[in-house]
Amino acid sequence: MYEDLLLGGNQFVPYSKMDGAKSLKATEWNDFDQSASREMVALDRYTGAVRWRVKADHGFLHNGTAVGNGVIYLIDKLPLSIEKRLSRRGTMPPESYRLKALDVHTGRPLWEKRRNVFGSFLAYSEEYDILLQSTRPSRDMVEGENGERMIAYDGKTGAILWDRPNTYDSVPILHGDRIICQGAMYSLRTGEVLTRRNPLTGVVAPWTFERQYGCNYPIASEYLLTFRSAAAGFFDLGSDGGTGNLGGFKSGCTSNLVVADGVLNAPDYTRTCSCAYQNQTSLAMVHMPEGEVWTFNLFAEAAADAPLRRLGVNFGAPGDRMAKNGTLWLEYPVVGGPSPEIPIEVTGVNDVAPRMFRHHASLFGGDGPNWVMASGIRGAERIRLNLGDGTERPYTVRLYFAEPDLLNAALRAMTVTVQGRARLSAFDVAQVAGGSRRGLVREFKGVLVSDTLDIDFYMDNSSDLDEPVLSGLEVVAEDW
> Is the model's pLDDT at 142 over the cut of 70?
no
CA geometry: angle 345, 356, 380, nearest 5 deg = 45
More confident residue, 460 or 108: 108
Residue pLDDT, tens place only, 40-59: 999 998 999 999 999 999 99
213's CB contacts (< 8 A; 6+ apart) are: 229, 230
d(CA 207, CA 181): 10
In this predicted structure, which of 333-342, 350-359, 421-430 has the lowest mean pLDDT? 333-342
- In this prediction, residue 134 carries a pLDDT of 96
| pLDDT greater than 90 at residue 384 | yes
463 vs 226: which has the higher pLDDT: 226
- Residue ranges and CATH numbers for the domains of the chain are 5-205 (2.40.10.480), 219-286 (no CATH), 297-477 (2.60.120.430)
For residue 11, the model assigns a pLDDT of 55
What average pLDDT does the segment 295-305 reach? 67
> How high does pLDDT run on average in the chain?
88
Q: What pLDDT is stored for residue 230 in this prediction?
A: 85
Above 50 in pLDDT, residue 24?
no
Query: For residue 478, what pLDDT is reported?
Result: 95
pLDDT of residue 107: 95
Give the confidence band of 290 by pLDDT, cuts at 50, 70, 90: confident
pLDDT of residue 16: 44
SS3 content of the chain, % helix, strand, coil (to 5): 10, 45, 50
438 beta partners: 365
Task: Return the pLDDT at 382.
Answer: 97
Is 95's pLDDT higher than 90? no
Give the pLDDT confidence score for residue 71 in this predicted structure: 97
**pLDDT tops 60 at residue 160:** yes
Per cent of the chain over pLDDT 70 is 91
H runs (alpha helix) in 224-367: none
Residue 115: C-alpha distances to residues 57, 58, 415 (Å): 15, 15, 74
Query: Cβ(188)–Cβ(152) under 8 Å?
Result: yes
Categorize the per-residue pLDDT at 33 as very low, low, confident or very high, splitting at 50, 70 and 90: low
- Compare 412 and 473 and report the one with higher pLDDT: 473
Task: Check residue 135 and give left, alpha or beta (phi > 0: left; psi -120 to 50: alpha).
Answer: beta
Task: State how far the Cα of 92 lies from the Cα of 168, in Å rounded to an integer.
Answer: 26
Confidence of residue 378 (pLDDT cuts 50, 70, 90): very high
**pLDDT band at residue 32 using 50, 70 and 90 as cut-offs:** very low
Amino acid identity at 399: L
Q: Residue 208 above 50 pLDDT?
A: yes
3-state secondary structure 424-447: EEEEEHHHHHCCCCEEEEEEEEEE
The pLDDT-based confidence of 336 (bands split at 50, 70, 90) is confident
Question: Residue 8: CB partners within 8 Å, gap ≥ 6?
Answer: 37, 40, 41, 43
Whether the CB-CB separation of 105 and 71 falls below 8 Å is answered with no
The predicted model gives 286-303 an average pLDDT of: 78
CA separation for the pair 191, 280 (Å, rounded) = 41
pLDDT of amino acid 31: 44
pLDDT, tens digit (0-9, with 9 covering 90-100), for 347-372: 998 888 999 999 999 999 999 999 99
Residue 39 CA to residue 56 CA, distance in Å, equals 5
**Measured between alpha carbons, how far is 227 from 229 in angstroms, rounded to an integer?**
6
pLDDT exceeds cutoff 50 at 15: no
The amino acid occupying position 62 is: H
The reported pLDDT for the residue numbered 25 is: 39
